[in-house]
Amino acid sequence: MVHRKVDEKVLETMKKLRKAGLSYIKIGKKLNLSNNTVQYHLNKEYKEKVIQRVKNWQKRNKERLKERNRLWRKLNRKAYLRSVCLSLVRAYLKRKIISIDDLKSIIKEVKGKAYA
């Protein structure tokens, strides 16, 4: 099974196949997705159930989740810092704290410099 995001094109294909009477398992096999992924995207009740299950798990396992996230940030430092920077940039742009032109000049200034 390939782990990938379900885009609009795949979602439309899933809907057509389901309308044609195929089961979640057959749709999954045809599109190289798990039947759970197919069911998650096509069955509203199932999706809500999964979301609630995840929320309940997160409530029961706050410390475990905190430790898992800390470990991920440590092992994937570059990806973590990139995601933090992108989140800040999005927030600054949304709140109009900086402009696109400011951002371009910052990128131009930083380009070529190496940071640890």
pLDDT at 2 over 80: no
Question: Distance between CA 29 and CA 35 in Å, rounded?
Answer: 8
pLDDT at 4 over 80: no
| Average of per-residue pLDDT across 82-101 | 92
| pTM recorded for the entire structure | 0.63
Query: Over the stretch 29-87, which tens digit does the pLDDT of each residue have?
Result: 999 999 999 999 999 999 999 999 999 999 999 999 999 999 999 999 999 999 999 99
